[in-house]
């Protein structure tokens, strides 16, 4: 057992219904079980909190009841925008508000034992960590999506800005970490999501059901799923497509299914809490996403021994599914090939069984014990030599050996820690 | 607490007290805790050693200082001494003028521990410091392709390309690994890195690579003055050292029996080491050159001749010519491709139907193989894409006028003697690419050379501002039959006159205090340029004062600010984004010019396809229309009676904004909003086989933004041309066309239906083409090979097209009866050796494919939509699909519907072609079935129908378009 540490996991919020929050609570539980003292920090509360059943093993802290200021820092692009006094005032208020939250973080961090670690799980939450005083702690930034997804979004600039200075920036897969490294982030490394389910029962693989689990939104590509289904379903009577999850595209998708004449074989099951029932009742798992990080849904389905068909849309998907062994990878957007891959598995129960068995075996790479070992190795690596204090030696250095006095790292950033009461501890 | 550190960094320095703190600081600042620096001072005389001692005293557990008693003259001894003192589990090397990335040690250590490698290597970045501190330094990664992703190799054989990275510094070595194999640097030779890294790669059981930058290599700007004589002698000794190192590496490989690796290393020597030295050679005197040639030729003679085949083609030529002691030829080869500039500085020779480098006779089999440059395609590349050497033969000042004279190389007489020639000399402010002064030049054709001469008064012509525009480059623009070649006068092929040090009088706008002369000099790449200078005392004083002011802190900042602003203003003014914004807000509010139409074919690449035939019909019979044609890069081949605008220019956007009609076959720039008064006829460029628009996988899996972009572009159409019901089922829904559909057939196919009869203009064009292709009086049947492009593994089109059959075999078996015209897709090129001209001709530069179809007695193609057009002629077609796996993808099952036989191999194709040669008609039945199914609307009157509908009915069309666009606008914004 590695030495016990204080670990802070900082997220945008800890109580929204979502993959990241599930990951955060799971990680907190796993780390606590190994004797670490974990604090889960959310910047604000969710409007509709989801109960992750926090136990006494770790504490949950929320910085604000509600975040009322603008979400992002004000960055005027044009001269006229710069004259916008209202925006300037709002931004000023935002900075002031942020400072309050950062001060609370500073107080939390100051109370930590030596060897503590801060994990900023999201880039927005990182803005508070960056503002807080992290002297003596190591800061780890995380990107829970593929490099490509970040690159295409407005988050890219913020990731470059706020994660450049952290001690380690973790992507989900080696391929994503390499992409960040090529892009100049020399602190890039990778850390997979730990497997978070332990199946109680397994599918028979005899049910004529294809299952899809995920939000009904554009990125999840269910429109492409329905297109492929319209192609394959008529040739496979009796097979059903079950979609679990809700989202903005639901009405549009229902209409699309209706138009394609497949409404009879497509079931919209809505959001479910019982993933086991959903997966154990199916024979094939389909992932038609346009973009993914390291999809938890595939981890789950593999743990349940389902063969998968997925678009090869991101490194995380390639990392999980080995094409031809435990699933099929299809070129992104090629719905005909997606339908053909589904058809092959529908026709061949034996192939489903071999692939499913391989999936169950392969997913053990992400067993919590292995992933946690990796985390602890990383903590140890970052805290290799706690006594050393880095020294800045600049150009001003003189030949006669006069150097500026050593400065503790981060002394210039953040305010002096205030010894205030830690308020608002949820649990 | 002296615990064993994880990593020891051996920092070596000699007389570098100024930069040592940066290097040591980068070690102390490592994000990994347990790192120590071992500073080895090579007996410096500037206090570096004392500084190292001071550092060690300040950081007792982290810095140690070792001072050598006497200078070793190299890097080998201090590094070896450093290794002896290193206590870490891993050892790294750092030079005092460089630095480590903050996370270097952590990344290398983590990769080493995870992979168990003996040797872990990361990316090195060269930081080229700008001599003027007001400009940012440039960064260049060192062999980034080696470091694209993390990898673990179990030996050099796994990836011989590792030999390209010969640095010892961007790596961490396991200490025990160094000891077990006795790895140390060779002493008393330069380039000890090369041997050390080769030995280490060979010895390592596992080598790990990471894409993270670990090492910053600071490169000081090149000294302005030429090296002294003693330096030159030392440099020659350096080169001898380098060869000695290579000989030792060769011996090492031989000892191990690693002949494959030896050859990989030899190829690297030719591709990299030799090329670097050759390119530096231009500045050297004849004594140095002779000494260099002797050394290099002797070493190259020791290498296996196979190396010339395995190295890259052009460097191989350079090496071969060095071996043959032809230094001028070698220099020309070394310059070709330098910095992506493909300036041809040598003659070419055609022999036996192949093209050879230089004029020397290729007298051995090896020479023939190495010097054969047919594959570069220099004999058929469009002239405007050629960069030809321009040798200055005279630069003088007489009576206040500058006289400049030179010779442009004309290899293979690519510029024919009867061509119409014109030339302009351009003087160009280097900092402001658009600021150009033009001087007329006279030009005469002299066979293998083209002589030009310009004579001008520099005081009148060259009006610099002074101070802000110190450097002026010189270009000669040569116009050959309307096609432009840009050349840069300079050393050219050698043997010209010296042209540096001539001072032209100038009159700067900031008065003569800012400068009074422009002195000519030779640039790094061997070209002529002028630098402003002050001759008179007063001018010298003001220029010195201005330069001093620009160097002070405030001056530097102010100057940098001015230049930044200037650059950004210029960029903003010329950017496409600005033009589009101005288009939408200003230009499209100008009054419409009634009766003006903008034509564009394939984004301006050609004068061809449906827009061309609509334009011709308009001119012949339609209402008077002011036609504007857009061209992409060269106006050559576009109609002379139309107004021509360059695609993307201000004129282009203005024409589009005010036009009453838009006619094109692919797409006008995204983002510009079509005004309701404009009628947009989208003719498209062929029926679809591959999936189009929203049906393409790339778009299906793409972002919403990409789909919205296509939706915006398609919703601009007012009228969409349809040539068959197949289009209605595929193209129209695929693109999501919601405009009026015009089922008229394709205007470009009218001549195919009529066979070209009754159209004297077309007949004349055909006759001219026949003449140009040498077909007049040729009794053989003509077959056109016109495949579409193939997508490579990266999804992008494969540029190079191969002939479908081996040209020699084709000539032998069918050459008496058939002539093959090869037409690559407009995204591709094909290289045919000149020797096959008798039986195979490249027709890639004929813009209008309709004419070629009319000429051809048969067609060989593949998934190309050209089959729909050619089917109208009812002539034989063969489908050659050598490497296709699946035929049924897309809208169309070729196996089922192909209007002709399908061939998979060269033999099958030749068999079908021989049927054709004998006058047979393979696949007539399939063709008729196909025509019945797919050729529905082409009746030979498409152009007239379109003109009647769009131009004659313009008023009604406009009204409807305005109504529909108003109706559509809210929907248009949604996806």
Give CA–CA dist B383/A52, Å, rounded. 70
CA distances from B581 to B586, B670, B969 (A): 8, 12, 19
Cβ atoms of residues A193 and A298 within 8 Å = no
Interface test with B, best of A188, A380, A401, A403 (most B CBs within 10 A): A401
CB B153 within 8 A of CB B206: yes
Distance (Å) of CA A13 to CA A47, A67, A116: 10, 11, 21
Q: Is the pLDDT of residue B692 over 90?
A: no
pLDDT in tens, B664-686: 999 999 989 999 999 999 999 88
Q: How many CB atoms lie within 10 A of CB B484?
A: 16
Q: Encoding tokens for residue A65?
A: 């009841």
Does the CB of B55 have a partner CB in chain A at under 8 Å?
yes
Q: Give the pLDDT confidence score for residue B559 in this predicted structure.
A: 83
Q: Which residue of A145, A153, A181, A287 is the best one to mutate when testing the B interface, meaning the one whose CB has the most B CBs within 10 A? A: A181
pLDDT digits (tens, 9 = 90+) for B890-937: 787 787 888 888 888 899 999 999 988 888 887 788 888 887 777 778
- B352-362: string of b/e by CB count within 10 Å (b at 16+)? eebbbbbeeeb
CA dihedral A145, A148, A152, A157 (to 10 degrees): 70
Please indicate if any CB of chain A lies within 8 Å of the CB of B28. Answer: yes
Q: What is the mean pLDDT of chain A?
A: 86
DSSP symbols for B637-694: TS-TTSEEEETTSHHHHHHHHHEEEEEESS-PPTTPPPPTTSEEEE--SS--SS--GG
Give the integer Cα–Cα distance in Å for B8 and B862.
Answer: 62
CB contact at 8 A, A181 and B212: yes
Say if CB A42 and CB A12 are below 8 A apart: yes
pLDDT tens sequence across B381-412: 888 888 899 999 999 999 889 999 999 999 98
B858 pLDDT above the threshold of 80: yes
CB atoms within 10 A of CB A298: 26
Q: Is B600 helix (H, G, I), strand (E, B) or coil?
A: strand
- Render B517-547 in DSSP notation, one character per residue: EEEEEE-TTSBEEEEEE--SHHHHHHHHHHH
Q: If we measure between CA atoms, which residue out of B49, B83, B81 comes closest to residue B67?
A: B49
pLDDT band at residue B711, thresholds of 50, 70 and 90? very high
> How many Å from the N-terminal Cα to the C-terminal Cα in chain B?
67
pLDDT in tens, A259-315: 999 999 999 999 888 889 999 999 999 999 999 999 999 999 999 999 999 999 999
What secondary structure letter does DSSP report for B303? S
The pLDDT value recorded for residue B2 is 52
The model's confidence at residue B188, banded by pLDDT at 50, 70 and 90, is confident
Query: Do strands A117-120 and B800-801 pair parallel, antiparallel, or not at all (unpaired)?
Result: unpaired
For chain B, the average pLDDT equals 87
Q: What is the DSSP letter of A296?
A: H
What is the distance between the alpha carbons of residues B431 and B531, in angstroms, rounded to a whole number?
12
Other Cβ atoms closer than 10 A to A87:
15
pLDDT tens figures, A12-40:
999 888 888 989 999 999 999 999 999 99
B699: phi > 0 → left, psi -120 to 50 → alpha, else beta; which?
alpha
pLDDT at B3 over 90: no
Give the span between the Cα atoms of B475 and B484, in whole angstroms: 12
Flag whether pLDDT at B973 surpasses 50: no
Q: Quick one: which of B904, B910, B862, B906 has its CA closest to B883?
A: B904
Confidence label for B956 from pLDDT (cuts 50, 70 and 90)? very low
Question: How does residue B492 score in pLDDT terms, banded at 50, 70 and 90?
Answer: confident
Residue B425 confidence (pLDDT):
95
Q: What is the pLDDT of residue B377?
A: 85
Tens digits of residue pLDDT in B499-514 = 888 999 999 988 888 8
Query: Which chain A residue's Cα is nearest to B702?
Result: A290
Among A357-361, B128-132, B246-250, B426-430, the minimum mean pLDDT is found in B128-132
Cβ distance B698 to A181 less than 8 Å, yes or no, reads: no
Using an 8 Å Cβ cutoff, are B619 and B945 in contact?
A: no
Specify the pLDDT at position B233. 61
Give whole-number Cα distances, B560 to B468, B520, B532, in Å: 12, 26, 20
Q: What is the ipTM of this complex?
A: 0.86
- pLDDT 10s digits, B212-254: 999 999 988 765 444 555 556 667 888 899 899 999 999 999 9
- In this structure, of A72-81, A151-160, B81-90, the range with the lowest mean pLDDT score is A72-81
Mean pLDDT of B177-183: 94
Element housing A94 (H / E)? helix A85-110
* Residue B715 to residue B728: CA distance in whole angstroms: 17
Identify from B33, B56, B577 which residue to disrupt to test chain A contact, counting A C-beta atoms within 10 A and taking the largest count.
B33
User: Would an 8 Å CB–CB cutoff place A224 in contact with chain B?
Assistant: yes
Q: Tokens representing B452? A: 């030009």
What are B428's two structure tokens?
Answer: 């160009």
Which of B168, B162, B167, B234 lies closest to B202, judged by CA? Answer: B162
Q: Dump pLDDT digits (tens) for B519-563.
A: 999 988 889 999 998 888 888 888 888 888 887 888 888 888 888
Cα A320 from Cα A315, distance rounded (Å): 9
Query: Nearest-CA distance from B667 to chain A in Å?
Result: 23
Min Cα distance A129 → chain B (Å) is: 19
Looking at chain B, the whole-number percentage of residues with pLDDT higher than 70 is: 94
What distance lies between CA B40 and its chain's CA centroid? 45
Q: Model confidence at A216, in pLDDT bands (50, 70, 90)?
A: very high
Contacts of A174 in chain B (CB under 8 A): 149-150
Give me the pLDDT at residue A397, please. 33
Chain centroid offset of residue A49 CA: 18
Question: Given a cut of 50, is residue B301 above it in pLDDT?
Answer: yes
The overall longest dimension of chain B from CA atoms, in Å, is: 101
Cα–Cα distance list, B751 to B139, B727, B770, B786, B787 (Å)? 57, 21, 16, 19, 22
A187 interfacial to chain B (CB closer than 8 Å):
yes
Q: What is the pLDDT of residue A393?
A: 36
**pLDDT over threshold 50, residue A401:** no
User: Which B residues in the span 760-799 are in contact with A, Cβ-Cβ below 8 Å?
Assistant: none
For A39, which DSSP code?
E
Nearest CA in chain B to A393: B25
Instruction: Write down the residue that tokens 């010189």 correspond to.
Output: B474
Q: What is the pLDDT of residue A419?
A: 31
Q: Of A91, A48, A88, which Cα lies nearest the Cα of A66?
A: A48
Cβ neighbours of residue B417 closer than 8 Å, sequence gap 6 or more: B445, B447
- Candidates B57, B150, B699; nearest CB to A178: B150
Of the pLDDT bands very low, low, confident and very high (cuts 50, 70, 90), residue B830 is confident
Q: According to the model, what pLDDT value does residue B801 have?
A: 85
**Phi/psi at B250 (nearest 5 deg)?**
-55, -45
Nearest CB to A178: which of B144, B149, B699? B149
Angle formed by the axes of helices A349-362 and A335-347, nearest 10°: 100
pLDDT value at residue B653:
95
Any chain A CB within 8 A of the CB of B453? no
DSSP code of residue A415:
P
CA B564 to chain CA mean position, Å: 27
- Check if the beta carbon of residue B596 is closer than 8 Å to that of residue B661: yes
Residue of B51, B104, B696 lying closest to A399 (CB–CB):
B51
Q: Which of residues 234-263 of B touch A (CB under 8 A)?
A: none
- Per-residue pLDDT, averaged over B598-612, amounts to 92
First to last CA, chain A: 27
Residue of B nearest to A187 (CA): B103
Please report where in the chains the tokens 């001690």 appear, as a residue.
A167
Confidence of residue B964 (pLDDT cuts 50, 70, 90): very low
Which helix (H) or strand (E) segment is A336 a member of? helix A335-347
pLDDT of residue B888: 47
Q: Decide: residue B13, CB within 10 A, 0-12 exposed, 13-18 middle, 19+ buried.
A: buried
**From the list B110, B700, B702, which residue is nearest A381 (CB)?**
B110
Q: Which of A403-412, B125-134, B210-219, B340-349 has the lowest mean pLDDT?
A: A403-412
Q: How many helices (H) and strands (E) does chain A have?
A: 15, 14
CB of B699 within 8 Å of a chain A CB? The answer is: yes
- Quote the pLDDT of residue A81: 83
Reply yes or no on whether the pLDDT at B624 is more than 90: no
Contacts by residues B562-571 (CB-CB < 8 Å, ≥ 24 positions apart): B563/B134, B563/B431, B570/B432, B570/B434
What pLDDT is recorded for position B132?
63
Contact residues on chain A for B17, CB-CB shorter than 8 A: 399
- List Cα–Cα distances, B244 to B188, B239, B268, B292, in angstroms: 12, 9, 16, 14
For residue B472, list its beta bridge partners: B429, B530
Order of strands, edge to edge, in the sheet holding B818-822? B840-842, B818-822, B781-785, B858-861, B877-880, B902-903
SS3 content of chain B, % helix, strand, coil (to 5): 40, 20, 35
pLDDT (tens digit per residue) in B724-760: 888 888 899 999 999 999 998 899 988 888 877 778 8
């Amino acid at each position: 057992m590695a030495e016990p540490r204080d670990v802070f996991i900082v997220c945008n919020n800890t109580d929204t219904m979502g993959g990241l929050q599930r990951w955060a609570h799971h990680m907190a539980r796993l780390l606590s079980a190994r004797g670490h003292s974990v604090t889960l920090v959310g910047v604000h509360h969710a409007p509709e909190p989801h109960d992750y059943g926090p136990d006494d093993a770790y504490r949950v802290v929320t910085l604000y009841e509600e975040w009322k200021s603008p979400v992002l820092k004000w960055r005027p692009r044009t001269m006229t925008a710069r004259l916008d006094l209202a925006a300037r005032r709002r931004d000023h208020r935002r900075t002031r508000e942020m400072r309050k939250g950062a001060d609370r973080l500073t107080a939390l961090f100051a109370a930590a034992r030596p060897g503590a670690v801060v994990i900023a799980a999201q880039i927005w939450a990182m803005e508070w960590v960056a503002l807080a005083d992290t002297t003596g702690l190591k800061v780890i930034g995380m990107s829970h999506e593929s490099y490509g997804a970040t690159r295409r979004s407005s988050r890219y600039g913020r990731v470059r800005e706020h994660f450049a200075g952290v001690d380690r920036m973790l992507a989900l897969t080696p391929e994503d970490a390499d992409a960040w490294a090529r892009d100049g982030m020399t602190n890039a490394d990778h850390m997979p999501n730990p497997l978070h389910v332990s199946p109680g029962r397994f599918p028979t693989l005899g049910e004529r059901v294809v299952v899809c689990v995920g939000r009904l939104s554009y990125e999840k590509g269910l429109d492409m799923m329905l297109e492929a289904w319209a192609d394959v379903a008529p040739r496979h009577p009796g097979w059903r497509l079950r979609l679990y999850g809700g989202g903005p595209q639901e009405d549009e998708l229902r209409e699309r299914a209706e138009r394609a004449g497949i409404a009879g074989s497509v079931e919209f099951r809505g959001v479910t809490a019982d993933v086991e029932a959903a997966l154990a009742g199916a024979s094939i798992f389909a992932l038609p996403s346009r973009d993914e990080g390291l999809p938890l849904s595939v981890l789950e389905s593999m743990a349940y021994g389902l063969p998968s068909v997925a678009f090869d849309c991101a490194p995380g998907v390639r990392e999980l599914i080995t094409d031809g062994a435990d699933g099929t990878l299809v070129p992104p957007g090629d719905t005909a090939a997606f339908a053909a891959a589904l058809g092959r598995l529908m026709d061949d129960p034996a192939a489903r069984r071999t692939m499913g068995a391989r999936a169950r075996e392969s997913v053990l790479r992400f067993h919590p014990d292995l992933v946690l070992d990796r985390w602890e190795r990383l903590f140890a690596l970052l805290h290799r030599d706690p006594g050393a204090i880095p020294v800045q030696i600049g150009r001003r250095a003189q030949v006669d050996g006069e150097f500026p006095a050593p400065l503790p790292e981060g002394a210039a950033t953040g305010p002096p820690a205030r010894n205030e009461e830690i308020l608002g501890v949820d649990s | 607490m002296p615990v064993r550190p994880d990593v020891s960094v051996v920092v070596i320095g000699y007389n570098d007290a100024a930069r040592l703190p940066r290097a040591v600081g980068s070690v102390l600042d490592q994000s990994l805790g347990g790192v120590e620096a071992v500073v080895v001072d090579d007996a410096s005389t500037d206090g570096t050693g004392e500084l190292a001692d001071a550092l060690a005293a300040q950081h007792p557990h982290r810095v140690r200082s070792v001072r050598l008693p006497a200078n070793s003259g190299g890097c080998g001894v201090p590094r070896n001494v450093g290794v002896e003192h290193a206590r870490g589990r891993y050892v790294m090397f750092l030079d005092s003028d460089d630095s480590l990335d903050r996370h270097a040690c952590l990344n290398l250590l983590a990769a080493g521990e995870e992979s168990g490698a003996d040797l872990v290597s990361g990316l090195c970045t060269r930081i080229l410091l700008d001599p003027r501190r007001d400009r940012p330094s440039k960064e260049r990664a060192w062999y980034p392709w080696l470091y694209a992703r993390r990898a673990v190799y179990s030996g050099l054989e796994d990836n011989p390309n590792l030999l390209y990275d010969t640095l010892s510094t961007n790596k961490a070595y396991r200490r025990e690994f160094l000891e077990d194999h006795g790895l140390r640097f060779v002493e008393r030779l330069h380039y000890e890195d090369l041997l050390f890294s080769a030995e280490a790669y060979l010895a390592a059981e596992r080598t790990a690579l990471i894409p993270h930058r670990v090492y910053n290599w600071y490169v000081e700007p090149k000294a302005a003055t030429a090296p002294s004589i003693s330096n030159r002698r030392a440099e020659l000794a350096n080169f001898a050292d380098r060869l000695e190192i290579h000989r030792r590496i060769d011996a090492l490989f031989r000892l191990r029996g690693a002949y494959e690796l030896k050859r990989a290393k030899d190829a690297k020597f030719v591709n990299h080491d030799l090329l670097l030295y050759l390119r530096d050679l231009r500045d050297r005197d004849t004594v140095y050159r002779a000494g260099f040639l002797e050394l290099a030729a002797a070493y190259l003679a020791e290498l296996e001749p196979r190396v010339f085949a395995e190295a890259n083609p052009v460097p191989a030529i350079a090496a071969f010519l060095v071996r043959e002691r032809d230094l001028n030829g070698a220099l020309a080869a070394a310059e070709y491709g330098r910095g992506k500039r493909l300036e041809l500085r040598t003659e070419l020779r055609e022999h036996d139907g192949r093209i050879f480098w230089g004029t020397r006779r290729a007298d051995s089999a090896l020479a023939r193989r190495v010097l054969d440059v047919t594959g570069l395609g220099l004999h058929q590349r469009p002239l405007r894409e050629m960069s030809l050497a321009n040798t200055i033969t005279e630069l003088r000042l007489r009576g206040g006028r500058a006289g400049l004279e030179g010779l442009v190389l004309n290899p293979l007489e690519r510029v024919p003697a009867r061509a119409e020639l014109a030339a302009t000399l351009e003087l160009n402010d280097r900092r402001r690419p658009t600021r150009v002064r033009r001087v007329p030049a006279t030009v005469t054709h002299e066979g293998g050379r083209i002589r030009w001469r310009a004579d001008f008064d520099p005081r009148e012509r060259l009006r610099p501002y002074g101070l802000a525009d110190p450097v002026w480059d010189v270009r000669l623009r040569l116009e050959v039959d309307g096609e432009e070649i840009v050349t840069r006068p300079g050393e050219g092929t050698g043997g010209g006159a010296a042209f540096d040090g001539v001072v032209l009088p100038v009159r700067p706008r900031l008065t003569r205090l800012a400068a009074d002369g422009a002195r000519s000099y030779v640039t790094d790449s061997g070209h002529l340029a002028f630098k402003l200078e002050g001759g008179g005392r007063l001018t010298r004083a003001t220029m010195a004062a201005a330069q001093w002011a620009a160097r002070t802190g405030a001056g530097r900042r102010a100057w940098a600010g001015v230049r930044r602003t200037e650059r950004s203003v210029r960029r903003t003014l010329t950017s496409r984004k600005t033009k589009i914004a101005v288009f939408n807000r200003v230009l499209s509010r100008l009054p419409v010019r009634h009766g003006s139409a903008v034509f564009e074919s394939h984004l301006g690449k050609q004068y061809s396809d449906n827009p061309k035939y609509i334009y011709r019909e308009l001119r012949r019979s339609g209402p008077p229309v002011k036609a504007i044609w857009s061209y992409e890069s060269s106006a050559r081949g576009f109609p002379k009676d139309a107004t021509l605008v360059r695609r993307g220019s201000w004129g282009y956007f203005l024409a589009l904004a005010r036009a009453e009609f838009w006619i094109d076959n692919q797409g006008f720039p995204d983002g510009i909003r079509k005004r309701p008064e404009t009628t947009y006829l989208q003719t498209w460029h062929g029926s679809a086989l591959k999936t189009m628009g929203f049906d393409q996988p790339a778009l299906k899996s793409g972002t919403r933004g990409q789909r919205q972009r296509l939706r915006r572009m398609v919703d601009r159409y007012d009228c969409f041309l349809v040539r068959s019901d197949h289009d209605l089922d595929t193209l129209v829904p695929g693109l999501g066309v919601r405009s009026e559909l015009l089922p008229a057939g394709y205007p470009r196919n009218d001549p195919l239906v009529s066979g070209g009869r009754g159209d004297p203009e077309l007949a004349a064009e055909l006759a001219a083409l026949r003449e140009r292709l040498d077909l007049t009086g040729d009794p053989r049947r003509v077959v056109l090979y016109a495949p579409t492009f193939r997508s490579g593994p990266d999804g992008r089109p494969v540029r190079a097209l191969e002939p479908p059959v081996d040209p020699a075999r084709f000539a032998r078996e069918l050459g008496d009866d058939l002539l093959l015209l090869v037409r690559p897709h407009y995204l591709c090129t094909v290289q045919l050796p000149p020797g096959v001209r008798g039986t195979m001709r490249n027709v890639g530069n004929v813009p209008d494919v309709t004419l070629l179809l009319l000429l051809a007695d048969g067609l060989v193609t593949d998934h190309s939509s050209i089959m729909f057009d050619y089917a109208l002629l009812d002539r034989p077609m063969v489908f050659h699909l050598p490497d296709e796996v699946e035929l049924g993808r897309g809208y169309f099952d070729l196996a089922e519907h192909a209007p002709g036989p399908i061939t998979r191999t060269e033999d099958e194709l030749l068999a079908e072609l021989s049927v054709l040669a004998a006058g047979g008609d393979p696949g007539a039945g399939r063709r008729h079935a196909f025509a019945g199914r797919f050729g529905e609307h082409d009746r030979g009157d498409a152009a007239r129908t379109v003109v009647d509908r769009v131009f004659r009915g313009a008023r009604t069309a406009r009204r409807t378009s305005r109504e529909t666009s108003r109706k559509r606008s809210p929907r248009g914004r949604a996806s």
